């Protein structure tokens, strides 16, 4: 039983990060209908920028992370601006454009920080919390709390602010939103920027748990993408559920199946998606003639 | 087609161009040595630079090892060139990125053969070296590698040489120290499933078995897995005194970091990867302290030669060297000694010259046997305050 709860704690910690990644995917998708394949690379840039502020510039972690989010949000704006001429004209080229953007970001990271990775020390140096024989590292608790706060802030932004309402409107019907006077390009740019900031937050938080390297975004991006699909692509609560789900499934698969854990995780994912193709919170679209 | 139409399409000029092209291809460049694969003459009568390939990961998760190896080789070659080269001929290194991928390695093996490289340094990944070995053997290109898998030795290629001990040497020395000297009886293992980790799992478990012990827990993780907490949780339940790790530097560091976060107090024991700055920075200095390391290179202060090498390396590259750079440096020095002995020969003659070299290097005394292994011992150190010190 202790082993079960220990694995669960580990799964929830990583699941919180996957939820942030999934949220970034979902936000861009629900606003623009676009899967941003540069999302993993943006996460990697966020991790590097945050670790540079934290380790090299010696800023407090609580300052380094928001600073990295701002820098990466600007990168998101740049990517959206480059892709804007293709919006509503050539969707396939936009998708390819995001793949290209990801490749460029990885090359830029290698030029700036070299192909060597870096370890990031944990900002929480206290001993792990022991609860009923289960060891809970303090930093893992911080990750879960920060993720929860980010979710709440984003939900409030989407529901209570003018820009958030505009993004919701564009997501529902961009032509009607345009007719209502909403600047679709600006809404898309804000979605891209927020998505990039969320990716940076995920990268910055997971840096001390893992190892920051130019290729770290590849596998994390895939896990986040799977989380977004599992939860329902485009759904905010779905991103949370999917992220936590993938985190927990991965943790228990690793415990039971060791070297085959990745295979088992994605077999389970495939079965779940076959049972419910739109995801846990996904919406089914019905076309009525 | 009629003869008339053939002429209309300029057959005669095309034939003339083809004949000229064949003639050019048949002629060798003035003063060039016989091309690799054309025979075992390798008489060493060539002029011009001596071309040697360096093949290592310069991108991807193994790029750190690749960078260490490139620097170690470059330092030795630059020193040799500054001292006059090989009979007045400079050594010209070309760096190739294998991306840590055996498929890319195979393509590069063909490429360096056609590019005229007479020898090769690398790779640092046994799986890539294994994939390249048959092509290098057929092209008669001697290769000094940093790989340590016993599978390399089993190839029995006359052209393949290791610049360090085999994995079995690392692990049998470590197992003997843990069991015979420190009297540990509860040893757990956590290895990854790539060629290095699989080799470590095999070598260490067989070493334990020869000492009459079985591991109290043994788990395997994918080489790219970053959350090892589930496996560590299972291992923690068996309450081991020692945790042996068989994984690359970054993953090893993560394992240690996550083990300590779980509250595991077991002593960490490992081979070569634990002796690197990358392991220590990923694990964190406090977590890395106390790690027992089996390594033939116990730090830059281990000997006067190591200190001299470290000073030159730091001057050249701005950072201190570690085991992989030292291995690569020794390998390059052995190649340079062989080239000097045979006056810049190639092919089987160069391979024979390498085998004939007796070299007192940073890792120890090298003397190659028929299987390509030149050094047969490691030492035991312990990480203290971020540095490896020999155990007393």
Q: By the CB < 8 Å criterion, does B254 face chain A? A: yes
Average pLDDT over residues B98-120: 93
User: Region B294-310: what's the mean pLDDT?
Assistant: 92
B251/chain A closest Cα distance in angstroms: 8
In tens, the pLDDT along A29-60 reads: 888 888 899 999 999 999 999 999 999 899 99
More confident residue, A116 or B9: A116
pLDDT above 70: residue B17: no
* B221 interaction partners in chain A (CB closer than 8 Å): 254, 258-259, 261
User: If pLDDT is split at 50, 70 and 90, which confidence band does B209 have?
Assistant: very high
In contact, B204 and B220? CB cutoff 8 Å: no
- A222-246 pLDDT, tens digit per residue, is 999 999 999 988 888 899 999 999 9
CB A250 within 8 A of CB A146: no
Q: What is the pLDDT of residue A276?
A: 86
pLDDT attached to residue A9 = 87
pLDDT of residue B166: 94
Q: CA–CA distance from B231 to each of A216, A275, B255 (Å)?
A: 21, 30, 10
Query: Hey, which residues does B93 pair with through a beta bridge?
Result: B52
Q: Which helix (H) or strand (E) holds B123?
A: none
Q: Residues A98-108: pLDDT tens digits? A: 999 999 999 99
Fold type of domain B168-295: Rossmann fold (3.40.50)
Q: Could B222 and A7 be called an inter-chain contact, meaning their C-beta atoms sit closer than 8 Å?
A: no
Mean pLDDT of B7-31: 43
Higher pLDDT, B302 or B172: B172
- DSSP 8-class letter at A276: S
What mean pLDDT is reported for chain B?
87
Does the pLDDT at position B376 exceed 80? Answer: yes
pLDDT value at A67 more than 60: yes
B389 membership: H or E segment, kind and range: strand B387-390
**B-interface mutation test, from A210, A219, A221, A266, most B Cβ less than 10 A away:** A210
Contacts from A56-62 at CB under 8 Å and sequence distance 24+? A60/A123, A61/A123, A62/A123
Give B312-332 pLDDT, tens digit per residue: 999 999 988 989 999 999 999
- Asked if residue B358 has pLDDT above 70, the reply is yes
When pLDDT is averaged across residues B191-202 and rounded to a whole number, the result is 91
Measured between beta carbons, which residues in chain B are less than 8 angstroms from residue A254? 221, 225, 227-228, 230-231
Quickly state the pLDDT bin for B7 (edges 50, 70, 90): very low
What residues of B are in contact with residue A119 (Cβ under 8 Å)?
250, 253, 257, 278, 281-284
Mutate to test the interface with A, among B63, B233, B282 (most CBs of A within 10 A): B233
Domain B50-165+303-376 belongs to what architecture? 3-Layer(aba) Sandwich (3.40)
Mean local confidence (pLDDT), B272-295: 90
Give the model's pLDDT for residue A289: 52
Q: How do the domains of chain A map onto residue ranges?
A: 2-115+131-275
CB contact, 8 Å: A126 with chain B? no
Distance between CA atoms of B72 and B90, rounded to whole angstroms? 17
- Residue B11: helix, strand or coil by DSSP? helix
Q: What is the pLDDT of residues B45-56, one digit of tens each?
A: 467 899 999 999
Q: Return the percentage of chain B with pLDDT > 70, whole number.
A: 88
Mean of pLDDT values over A255-265: 81
Cα B197 to Cα B278: distance, rounded to the nearest angstrom: 17
- The pLDDT of residue B41: 40
Least confident of A281-285, B17-21, B94-98: B17-21
Q: What is the CATH number of domain A2-115+131-275?
A: 1.10.3470
- pLDDT above 70: residue B20: no
**From the list A121, A128, A254, which residue is nearest B263 (CB)?**
A128
Q: How confident is the model at residue A284 (pLDDT cuts 50, 70, 90)?
A: low
Instruction: Find the closest chain A residue to B236 by CA distance.
Output: A3
User: Whose CA is closest to B275, among B152, B174, B190?
Assistant: B174
Long-range Cβ contact pairs of A286-289 (< 8 A, separation 24 or more): none
* Dist. CA A116–CA B362, nearest whole Å: 25
Which of A135-149, B47-61, B83-97 holds the top average pLDDT? B83-97
Chain B contact present for A135, CB below 8 A: yes
Q: Do B61 and A262 touch (CB under 8 A)?
A: no
Asked if B228 contacts B221 with a C-beta cutoff of 8 angstroms, the reply is: yes
Contacts of B280 (CB under 8 A, 6+ apart): B253, B288, B383, B386
- Band (pLDDT 50/70/90 cuts) for residue B37 is very low
Interface test with B, best of A127, A135, A206 (most B CBs within 10 A): A135
Contact indicator for B340, B86 with CB cutoff of 8 Å? yes
- pLDDT category of residue B38 using cuts at 50, 70 and 90: very low
Contacts of A142 in chain B (CB under 8 A): none
* pLDDT score at A282: 77
Closest alpha carbon within chain B to A123: B284
Burial A72-109 (b: 16+ CB within 10 A, else e): bbebbeebbeebbebbeeeeeebbebbebbbeebbeeb
Residue A288: pLDDT above 60?
no
Closest Cβ–Cβ partner in B224, B233, B281 for A7: B233
pLDDT at A84: 84
Residue A179: pLDDT band with limits 50, 70, 90:
confident
Give the per-residue pLDDT at B169: 95
pLDDT score for A1? 79
Mean pLDDT computed over B242-258: 94
Q: Mean per-residue pLDDT for A196-206?
A: 94
3-state percent helix, strand, coil for chain A, nearest multiple of 5:
75, 5, 20
* φ and ψ of B383, to 5 deg: -80, 125
Entry pTM:
0.79
How many Cα atoms sit within 13 Å of B184 on the Cβ side? 24
User: Is A6's CB within 8 Å of B225's CB?
Assistant: no
Confidence of residue A91 (pLDDT cuts 50, 70, 90): confident
pLDDT value at B274 more than 80: yes
- Cα separation, B201 vs B321, whole angstroms: 27
DSSP string, A33-66: S---TTHHHHHHHHHHHHHIIIIIS---HHHHHH
pLDDT for the residue B3: 41
Query: Which of A119, A137, A139, A219 to mutate against chain B (most B CBs within 10 Å)?
Result: A119
Stretch(es) of chain B classified as CATH 3.40.50.2300: 50-165+303-376, 168-295
Per DSSP, what are the bridge partners of residue B382? Answer: B292, B389
Question: Which residues in chain B are closer than 8 Å to A10, comparing Cβ atoms?
Answer: 227, 229-230, 233
Mean pLDDT of chain A: 87
């Amino acid at each position: 039983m202790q082993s079960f709860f220990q694995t669960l704690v580990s799964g929830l910690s990583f699941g919180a990060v996957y939820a942030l990644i999934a949220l970034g995917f979902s936000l861009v998708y629900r606003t623009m209908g676009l899967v941003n394949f540069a999302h993993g690379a943006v996460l990697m840039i966020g991790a590097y920028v945050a670790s540079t502020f934290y380790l090299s510039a010696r800023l407090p972690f609580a300052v380094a992370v928001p600073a990295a989010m701002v820098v990466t949000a600007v990168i998101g704006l740049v990517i959206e601006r480059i892709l804007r001429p293709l919006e509503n004209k050539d969707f396939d080229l936009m998708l390819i454009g995001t793949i290209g953007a990801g490749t460029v970001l990885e090359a830029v990271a290698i030029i700036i920080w070299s192909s060597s990775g870096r370890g990031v020390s944990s900002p929480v140096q206290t001993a792990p919390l022991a609860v009923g024989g289960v060891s809970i590292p303090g930093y893992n608790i911080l990750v879960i709390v920060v993720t929860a706060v980010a979710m709440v802030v984003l939900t409030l932004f989407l529901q209570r602010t003018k820009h958030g309402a505009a993004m919701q409107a564009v997501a529902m019907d961009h032509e009607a939103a345009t007719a209502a006077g909403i600047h679709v390009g600006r809404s898309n740019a804000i979605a891209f920027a927020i998505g990039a900031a969320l990716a940076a937050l995920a990268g910055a938080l997971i840096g001390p748990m893992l190892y920051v390297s130019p290729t770290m975004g590849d596998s994390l991006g895939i896990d986040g993408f799977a989380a977004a699909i599992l939860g329902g692509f485009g759904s905010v609560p779905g991103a949370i559920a999917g992220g936590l789900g993938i985190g927990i499934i991965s943790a228990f698969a690793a415990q039971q199946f060791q070297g085959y854990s990745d295979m088992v995780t994605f077999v389970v994912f495939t079965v779940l998606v076959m049972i419910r193709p739109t995801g846990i919170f996904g919406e089914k679209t019905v076309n009525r003639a | 087609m009629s003869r008339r139409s053939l002429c209309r399409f300029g057959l005669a000029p095309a034939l003339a161009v083809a004949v000229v092209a064949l003639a050019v291809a048949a002629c060798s460049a003035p003063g060039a040595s016989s091309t690799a694969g054309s025979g075992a003459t390798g008489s060493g009568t060539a002029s011009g630079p001596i071309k040697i390939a360096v093949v290592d990961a310069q991108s991807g998760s193994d790029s750190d090892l690749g960078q260490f190896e490139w620097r170690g080789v470059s330092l030795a070659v630059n020193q040799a060139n500054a001292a006059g080269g090989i009979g007045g001929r400079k050594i010209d290194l070309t760096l190739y990125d294998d991306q840590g991928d055996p498929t890319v390695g195979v393509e590069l093996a063909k490429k360096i053969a056609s590019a005229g490289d007479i020898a090769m340094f690398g790779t640092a990944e046994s799986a890539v070296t294994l994939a390249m070995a048959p092509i290098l053997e057929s092209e008669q290109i001697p290769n000094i590698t940093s790989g340590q898998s016993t599978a390399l030795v089993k190839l029995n290629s006359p052209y393949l040489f290791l610049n360090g001990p085999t994995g079995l040497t690392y692990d049998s020395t470590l197992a003997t120290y843990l069991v015979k000297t420190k009297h540990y009886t509860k040893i757990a293992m956590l290895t990854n499933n790539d060629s290095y980790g699989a080799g470590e799992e095999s070598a260490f478990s067989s070493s334990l078995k020869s000492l009459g012990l079985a591991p109290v827990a043994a788990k395997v993780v994918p080489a790219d897995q970053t959350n090892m907490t589930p496996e560590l949780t299972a291992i923690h339940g068996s309450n081991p005194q020692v945790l042996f790790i068989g994984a690359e530097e970054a993953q090893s560091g993560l394992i240690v970091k996550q083990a300590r976060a779980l509250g595991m107090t077991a002593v960490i024991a490992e081979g070569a990867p634990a002796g690197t700055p990358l392991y220590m920075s990923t694990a964190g200095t406090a977590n890395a302290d106390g790690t027992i390391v089996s390594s033939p290179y116990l730090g830059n202060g281990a000997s006067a030669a190591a200190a001299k090498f470290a000073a030159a390396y730091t001057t050249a590259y701005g950072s201190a060297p570690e085991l992989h750079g030292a291995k690569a440096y020794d390998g390059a020095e052995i190649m340079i000694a062989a080239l000097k002995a045979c006056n810049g020969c190639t092919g089987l003659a160069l391979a024979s010259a390498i085998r004939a070299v007796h070299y007192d290097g940073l890792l120890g005394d090298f003397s190659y046997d028929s299987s390509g292994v030149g050094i047969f011992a490691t030492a035991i150190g312990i990480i203290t305050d971020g540095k490896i010190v020999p155990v007393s």
